[in-house]
Chains A and B, each alone.
Chain A
Amino acid sequence: MSIRIEPLIALARPPRRAFSLALWLDREAVFGWLMMALPLLFLAAFVGYPFVYGILLSLQDRPVAKPGHFVGLANFVKNFHDPIFWRVAVNTFVYTGVATLLKMVGGLGLALAMNQDFRMKNLVRALLLLPFIVPTVLSTVAWLWMLDPAFSVVNRLLIGLGVPRPGPSWLGNPVLAMFSIIMINTWRGLPFYGITLLAGLQTVPPELYEAATIDGAGGWNRFRYVTLPLLKPIILIVTLFSVIFTFADFQLVYVLTHGGPQNATHLFATYAFDIGMGAGQLGLGASVALTMLPALALLIVALTLYMRRA
């Protein structure tokens, strides 16, 4: 056999050499990595580099426009002694927790309502996305006007209902200011939840509902034992995204209150920006921003593990 094959190999050699690159590319493992190369490079340049640079910065005393020097964890220790930092940490968790919960419950309700059959269903669904589509800064400026005690539609309505003039100071009172930014974030994030969950709802086979109905399940039980279990993976993914977005929120607070009154609405992102850019302490600012990381990472890992098990 070998006697016959050898000449064949000899004959095949020249064309095989010419085609070796093509053959190499034909291998799925190689082609796959080639397809990945560009995105990977992109990620390395625009996510990886800033991230690693951020970590390096956080370990330095690095004033803007001046060379920095390594200080180890001194910046984190300084934050630890900074009362505003703790206030900011509490604010961020309250803001993220409450807003995400409201968005989850509200979004689920919205999805269930939108899943019904009614006239102009598609138009209403499209309109629902508006708060999410309008640039945050623009919609926040609109809210700034709406929450103004002098001109606002909100306070005028309340005064009409008998609340004494001039009505509540939505952005001047620390508790109300936090309430306001949570509400606006919820208003903005609700459509994202609603539409994504709606997409999930539409994949639930109607037979399951029919079977449940035949078995005697009412509306609540159909929701509890059919809808909810099937939606769970989607709810988890949307929550994951929502938590990340909300935790790192910047624009809304920056435009509306700039962290005021008395730091009642300062979040990690706005505080890090003030220290990094306002005070010109790039290292300290980076250390504040990086504090978000462990909490977020833990949450992401926990949710991912939970999803895998499910």
Chain B
Amino acid sequence: MHGISRRGFLELAGIGAATAALAPRPAPAAGKTLTVLHESSFIPPFDEYIKTTLAQQYEKETGVKVVYEVTAVGSLPTRIATITETGTGADITMNLLLNVIQFGEKYVDVTDLCKEIGEKNGGWYDAGREAVVVDGKWKAVPFCNIGQLMNWRTDWFKEVGVAKFPETWEELHEVGKKLKTKGHPFGFELGHGFGDNHGWLYPLLWSYGGHEVEADGKTVVIDSDETARAVDFARKFFQDCVLEDCLGWTDVSNNKAWMAEQISCTNNAESILWFAKKEFPEIAKVTDQAMNPQGPKGRFHLMGAISHSILNFSPVKEEAVAFMRWLMDPKQLGGWYAVADSYYQPTLHAYDNAPMWDVEPRNKPYRDAMATAHLPGWPAPASRQMAESVAKYVVVDMFAKACAGASTKEVIKNAEAQLREIYKSA
């Protein structure tokens, strides 16, 4: 622990009022309240359902009031950081991608609860577990994956004689070349967004056999022939098939371009089809979705993990565990998943054939993709170094620089130097 604590310093400065704000919240009296923090959903009925249906039902059954607090998209990590740093603000929080490893120390060990839920529901997907286990302990209850898959225009693909989405990256490249010359380029994000860049670049790297780091989480292995092949492919793919502007894209860009009928293929979550169905039905009719193409070493996807954790300083930990147990029961959980079609793909095998998958059969690849989904630093377990590498866009920029024209050797050398510096602390 550092020499002078936060509160110690405040007292030193003589600011009593600020100290009060940082002090742990007193336990609420009878008629307890549970605060659940969630990021605002792209699918509005999803937030509505827990607020109006589940929370009220739970209060009626147990007398515990559930406050479902929504935070803006993109602000969740900052909110959890504030909550864990100050020790107040929520009892249960949603986690995105690598949040569990970042905040795990402040989360309750829910290993037993997860085992119990797993046993009752056909077991967990490996990818679900990968995102919540820290040092052998389950620090969150896996909730779902928001898969990143291929979205493609069936009408334009048909124009170049393709009725089924290509199986391999090389085949996709061939199709893309034809489509770009016909004025229908691909749109794959290579800029500094949060998801749509990592969503296809990590799987591309893996499918050619490249990795950031070994399974030990220490040995940097990005400099390999496999990585070089992936980078070479990306450059050729970008130059022959992709819109130049993609180098500067952030996460909204491909959705915008899709609805403007500017691109014929992209990598995104299900929301692109969901939104098209609502606002642009004509585009929705010619939109289909497919798993990522295969490379020489297989087919991979990025795990867009979402989970729920109980904060270990919460005065209502037991109530929180009870609520999670209740929430994860198929009676409640099934309904909650279903209101969002299949935007949130369950990490429990019990839902593999749930009716939610029949609402929109074009979403089924998102279910099938979970068997090959991993976190960014795979095959290493999630780590703070992995989070740093993602925040510094090491892999994204390695590919982006090559696409912009830099040599394969140079971009890999740069990425390796950066990764070595990052993983030094492992």
Contact = CB atoms under 8 A, between A and B. Distances in A.
A61 B388 CA distance: 13
Interface stretch (B241-249, B278-286, B343-351): B241-249
Interface stretch (A93-101, A127-135, A277-285): A277-285
B334 to A, nearest CB: 33
Given A64-B81, A172-B249, A260-B247, A84 B392 contact: yes
B256 A148 contact: yes
A177 B248 contact: yes
B77 A278 contact: yes
A76 to B, nearest CB: 13
B326 interface: no
Interface stretch (B7-15, B141-149, B297-305, B356-364): B7-15
Contacts of A260: 191-192, 247-248, 250, 393, 400
B248 A280 contact: no
A307 to B, nearest CB: 32
Interface of B: 1-4, 6, 9-10, 13, 15, 18, 77-78, 80-81, 84-85, 102-106, 190-193, 243-250, 256-257, 260, 262, 384, 387-388, 390-393, 397, 400-401, 404, 414, 417-418, 421, 425
Contacts of B106: 65
B392 A279 contact: yes
16 contacts: A64-B102, A64-B103, A65-B103, A65-B104, A70-B2, A84-B392, A149-B245, A169-B244, A172-B245, A172-B247, A257-B192, A259-B393, A260-B192, A260-B393, A263-B397, A279-B390
A235 B388 CA distance: 42
Given A63-B384, A274-B391, A275-B391, 6 more contacts: A49-B15, A65-B102, A65-B103, A67-B2, A68-B1, A151-B260
Among B77, B248, B393, B418, residue most surrounded by chain A Cβ atoms (within 10 Å):
B248
A296 to B, nearest CB: 24
What are the 4 tightest A-B residue pairs by CB atom distance, in nearest-first order?
A278-B391, A171-B248, A260-B192, A172-B248
Nearest to A82: B421
Contact of A173 (B105, B248, B414, B425): B248
Secondary structure dominating the interface of B: helix
A78 B417 CA distance: 12
Interface in A248-290: 257-263, 274-275, 277-281
Interface stretch (A18-26, A52-60, A185-193): A52-60
B1 A69 contact: yes
A62 interface: yes
Task: Categorize the interface residue count of chain A.
Answer: 35 or more
Contacts of A171: 191, 245, 248-249
Contacts of B84: 64-65
Contacts of A44: 13, 15
Contact of B1 (A41, A67, A151, A258): A67
Among B1, B81, B391, B400, residue most surrounded by chain A Cβ atoms (within 10 Å):
B391
A173 B404 CA distance: 8
A52 B243 CA distance: 47
B248 A69 contact: no
B71 to A, nearest CB: 13
B421 A261 contact: no
Contact of A277 (B10, B78, B190, B193): B78
A271 to B, nearest CB: 9
B417 A169 contact: no
A174 interface: yes
B283 to A, nearest CB: 14
Among A45, A62, A67, A258, residue most surrounded by chain B Cβ atoms (within 10 Å):
A258
Given A82-B421, A261-B190, A280 B81 contact: yes
A44 B16 CA distance: 13
B312 to A, nearest CB: 10
A66 interface: yes
A151 B106 CA distance: 46
A52 to B, nearest CB: 7
A107 to B, nearest CB: 29
A273 to B, nearest CB: 9
A257 B102 contact: no
A278 to B, nearest CB: 3
A81 interface: yes
Contact of B85 (A64, A83, A148): A64
A295 interface: no
B38 to A, nearest CB: 18
A270 to B, nearest CB: 9
Contacts of B404: 174, 261-262
Interface in A66-80: 66-70, 78
Contacts of B262: 150
A263 B103 CA distance: 27
Contacts of B1: 67-69
A94 B81 CA distance: 32
B367 to A, nearest CB: 29
A69 B2 CA distance: 5
A149 B15 CA distance: 52
Contacts of A64: 81, 84-85, 102-103
A263 B400 CA distance: 10
Contacts of A63: 102, 384
A150 B84 CA distance: 43
B13 A45 contact: yes
Contacts of B243: 149, 166
Nearest to A263: B397
A279 B422 CA distance: 11
B247 A45 contact: no
Nearest to A81: B421
Given A45-B18, A261-B404, A68 B2 contact: yes
Contacts of A279: 384, 387-388, 390-392
B247 A261 contact: yes
A45 B193 CA distance: 35
A45 B190 CA distance: 42
A44 B400 CA distance: 44
A188 to B, nearest CB: 20
Contacts of A56: 2, 4, 9
Nearest to B107: A65
A263 to B, nearest CB: 6
